[in-house]
A = this chain, B = another copy of it.
């Protein structure tokens, strides 16, 4: 399981209709793409970062992730919405590590 995350700041003013529309459209469009699981939109609240939001989603494996990346709906979203409306972003992808066995410590 891979947790794909992207934290971002929009070009739109805080609390604007454009911000609301971007978050709602992102959720609607991206959750419609096969393989996307556990999609969550979050507000980024640490003052140590300039990012304001995060999209996070899980993929069962790298093949599902790759299929999402190349899916026409994802490509269209990136081109028509993400590129013009996102001012800055950082992508991080995670695979959880199980606690080490006691005899490994």
Contact = CB atoms under 8 A, between A and B. Distances in A.
Interface of A: 2-4, 7, 20-21, 23-24, 27, 40-46, 48-49, 51, 54, 90-97, 99-100, 104-105
A24 B100 contact: yes
20 contacts: A7-B92, A20-B100, A21-B105, A23-B97, A24-B100, A27-B99, A40-B96, A41-B96, A41-B97, A41-B99, A43-B95, A44-B92, A44-B93, A45-B93, A46-B91, A46-B92, A48-B90, A49-B90, A49-B91, A54-B94
Contacts of A44: 92-94
A51 B48 CA distance: 17
